[in-house]
Structure 1
C-alpha cells in the first residue's frame, strides 16, 4: 500500500501537478476522480436530505459513479475521503462500504478493502518519506515542544486522527517502537467517556470489554484532554474552530500497580457531524531503555507526570489520594469481600477437618 501510494503520485504527478512531496489539493483529487474514473461529485444532496446528515459520504455505483460528500465536513476531512475514494479505484477494490460510516458489514473482504483504501489515502496525503523526516526531527528535540505536531497538521492539511493514525502505521516499522492508539468520545455536559477505537501493540491495560459500563481513570491523557477542552472552549468557539487551532498535549503515565510507564501524546477537538460531542486521540509509547535513545525529550521535567489506573471501580486510591474519582471502587470492594469470604470458609473447613480427625 505504501508503494501503491508512491506509484499513484508518480503516475498522476506530472499531469496534475502533485509531486512526491507537495500536498495534493482537494480540487486535484476531485479532478482525478472526474477525469480518470468518470465520477460525479455532489456536495449538496446530503444537505438537502437531513436524514442523511450523519454520513460523511454516500457512494452510488454505476456507469458514472456518484459520490455525495457532506458539506458540513472540514475541508481536510473531505480531502481524505476523496483520497480514499481514489484508493478504491486505483487499487481495484470493488467489495466496499457505500456509506461512511458504514451501516452494515457484509463480509470480511469489505472490511479489508475499506482498510486498504483508508491506508492508501493516508499514505497519499502524508507521504512516508516526508512524515519520517518530520518524526525524526520531532523525536530529536531535547525538550517537549508541541509546535512541530501542530505544524504537521497544517503542512499535511489533515485532522489529528489522520496524523496520529499515520504515526501508528510508520513508527513501529521504522523506529522499532511499539505503541498504542486510543480514541475517546465525550458528550459535553455528561460524565461518560467512551472508548471508540484502539490499536494496542504494547500490552496497555485497556478494559474495553469488561469496562463498557465502568469509568475509565480520569487521569489518562485521553480524558484529561477532553476535560480541558470542555472547560476552556465556548459554544461560539466550537463553531469557529479550525484544525489549526487544536493544541497538542503530553503526559507521562505510570500505572499504580505494575509501575509500567507510557509517554502519551495527543489532541482533543469537537466533532463536526456530532453536536455536543468532543473527541480525543492519543498515541502512547511504553517506556524502556531503548525509548530514551529514540525520543530525546522523554525525560523533560516539564512533561506532566500522572499515576493512573484502569477504572475507578477497580482502583484502591482513597478520595484523599485522588480527587478525580468518578465513582466508588465497587468492583475492588467486591473482590475484597470475596477474598474475605474465601478465607473464612477455608478457616472453617480446616477447623472442622481437625475436629473430625481428633
Structure 2
C-alpha cells in the first residue's frame, strides 16, 4: 500500500509544478478557483488532499486533466524526489536522533522541489559513482550520530551501572566469562551451544548466531575468551535494555532497517562499558597521562588490565576521552591486511568534532606507508608477538595539525590469513598537552605523513609505493595556467 502521506505530497508537488509553469501565484490560483490561499498552500505542502470536486476545479483552472493531477507519476524533473520518498528512506532513519522532524524535510522539499531535486539527483550520482549501498548509507548515518554526540551516551552508561548493581557485579574487578554466562542462562533462559557452528563450513567467519524462538546462542569453538565475553555482554544488553529489533549474528551479515544498525551499536556500547567500566578506566588513564615520559609498556599493560581485545579498548577510549578528558579531536581507524594481496583496507573509522585525516579512500589510492597503523600492520605477520604496539606523533604535510597516534596490530580474529590494526589519533594542542604530560617527550617518534601516495607532496619519501600523480597533475596545470596568463598579458 502507498501511504496517504506520500500521495498527499506527490499531489502537492505536482500542483505546485503545474501552477508555476503557468506563471500563476498562489494568490492568483486562489482567485480563479475561489479556494483560499492558505488551503492551497497546505495542499502544496502535502498536508491536505483535496476532494474530487476541488481537484476538478484545480485541473480546469490550470488547463490540466483530472487524471494528470491525481497520477502518482512524476516527470523527470521531480522523479528523484518521488524515488527517495517512495523508498521509505526517511522512515527507516529515525530522524529524531538528529533533532530533525520528518515534517521539516517535507516542508523543505515542498518549498523548493526543483532545487531539492537537483541536490538529490547529485547525491544519487555520487552514490552510483562510488558504488555506495543502502548499507554504507546507514553506517554513515550511524557514524554521524556518534560524532554528533562525541560518541558518549550517558543513558547507556547509567544502564550499565544499573545492571551491575542489580546483579551484584563488582565493576572494580575484571569480569569473568562465567559471570556473564550464568546471567544469560539463569536469568534470561539462554541455552549455550558450542558445537553447531563448527559443523557448517559456510559459517567459519561467524562467532555467534542467536535463535530467538528457543533462546539458543550458538557460539563458535574458535571464539576466544574476549570475543565470548563481548558476545555475552551484547546479549545481556539486548535483554536488559529490552531491545527486540536486533541483529542475530556476530559479526553481522545483513540488516533490515536502520533501527537494527542503531540497536546493534547501542548493544555494543553497553558491552564495552560493562567490560571496561568508565570510573576504573578514567582512574588508570590519569596515572598514565600524568607521566612525563612516554612508556609503551604502560599502554599495553593498561589494555591487558581490562581486555585481551585492543579494538574493544580503543573503542572505549573514544567514549571516555571526549567526556572525561575533554579530548574531542580524535580519530579511530581499523585497517585490514592480507600479506598476499599487499593492500591495506580501511574498514572502520570514526572522527570526533573536527574533520580529521584520514578518511576512507574511495579512489583505490595507496594509504601513506608512514602511518604508524600501516607500519604495525606491515610488521605483525613476521613478528613473534601476538600484539604489536607502537606510537608516533604524525604531522600531515598539507596542514599544520599534529596527532599523537597509538596503534595495535594483531591477527584478524575472524579471518585466517588476515591481520588488522587499530589506531587512535589525538590532535596535539595546548589542551591535549596539559592532559597528556608525556607529549613533549623527545623519545616519541615523529613522522611527517601524507594521506595517500597519489596526493602526497613529500619528495624524498622512501616508503612511497605509487607516484604522486594528483600532485604532478596539479603542478602541470599550474604551469600551463601561468603561461596562458602571460600570453593574455602580452596580447591584451
1:335 matched residue in structure 2: 474
1:25 is aligned to 176
| Corresponding position of 2:300 | 150
Please state if 1:9 is matched with 2:9. Answer: no
CA distance in 1, matches of 2:485, 2:190: 73
Say which SS state the counterpart of residue 232 (structure 2) adopts. helix
The answer on whether the counterparts of 1:269 and 1:279 sit within 8 Å (CA) in structure 2 is yes
Q: CA deviation at 1:189?
A: 3.5
**In structure 1, C-alpha distance between the alignment counterparts of 2:311 and 2:423, rounded to whole Å:** 9
CA distance in 2, matches of 1:209, 1:282: 16
Q: Which residue of 1 aligns with 2:366?
A: 215
1:51 alignment partner in structure 2: 202
Measured after TM superposition, the shift of residue 200 of structure 1 is 1.1
How far apart are the structure 1 equivalents of 2:447 and 2:361?
Answer: 24
Bigger share in helix: 2
Number of aligned positions between the proteins: 335
User: Is the strand fraction higher in 1 or 2?
Assistant: 1
Q: TM-score, normalised by structure 2?
A: 0.65
Structure number with greater CO (CA < 8 Å, separation at least 6) is 1
Q: For residue 42 of structure 1, report the CA deviation from its aligned partner.
A: 1.1
How high is the TM-score relative to the length of structure 1? 0.89
- Kept in 1, the 8 Å contact 2:331–2:356? The answer is yes
Shift, 1:351, TM fit: 5.2
Distance 2:372 2:356 in 1: 14
Q: Distance in 1 between matches of 2:310 and 2:191?
A: 29
Aligned counterparts of 1:345 and 1:98: Cα–Cα separation in 2: 62
CA contact (8 A) 1:186 1:194 kept: yes
Aligned match of 1:275 in 403, 416, 421?
A: 416
Q: How much has 1:224 moved relative to structure 2?
A: 1.1
The CA distance in 2 between the partners of 1:232 and 1:41, in whole Å, is 36
Which deviates the most, 167-176 or 145-154? 145-154
Matched, 1:260 2:401: yes
Provide, for residues 34-82 of structure 1, a one-character-per-residue CA deviation record: whole Å limited to 9, x for no partner: 11111111111111111111112111111x3111111112211111111
Counterparts of 2:242 and 2:184, CA distance in 1: 14
**Aligned mates of 2:293, 2:356 — CA distance in 1:** 25
Q: Give 5+ residue unaligned stretches, structure 1.
A: none
Matched, 1:298 2:439: yes
Deviation at 1:272, TM superposition (A): 2.7
Match of 2:458 among 313, 317, 328: 317
| CA RMSD in angstroms, aligned pairs only | 1.7
Q: Runs in 1 of length 4+ with deviation above 4 angstroms?
A: 344-352
Q: CA deviation at 1:348?
A: 4.6
Asked if structure 2 preserves the Cα contact closer than 8 Å seen for 1:72 and 1:273, the reply is no
Tell me, yes or no, if the aligned pair for 2:391 and 2:406 is still in contact at 8 Å: yes
Instruction: Report the counterpart of residue 212 of structure 2 in structure 1.
Output: 61
Aligned-pair distance for 1:341?
3.5
Contact 2:290 2:436 (8 Å CA) reproduced? yes
The answer to whether the 8 A contact 2:397-2:457 is kept is no
Q: Which residue of 1 aligns with 2:284?
A: 134
Q: Structure 1: how far apart are the matches of 2:200 and 2:338?
A: 25
Structure whose alpha-carbon radius of gyration is higher? 2
Task: Give 1:167's aligned residue.
Answer: 317
TM-fit CA distance, 1:123: 0.7
Deviations 1:169-214 (A, max 9, x none): 011011001211111111123321111111112332224144x400
Counterpart Cα distance in 1 of 2:483 and 2:457: 22
Q: 1:336: Cα distance to partner?
A: 2.1
Unpaired stretches in structure 2, ≥5 consecutive residues = 1-155
Residue 206 (structure 1) aligned to one of 358, 368, 377: 358
Deviations 1:139-190 (A, max 9, x none): 0111111223222332223300000100110110110012111111111233
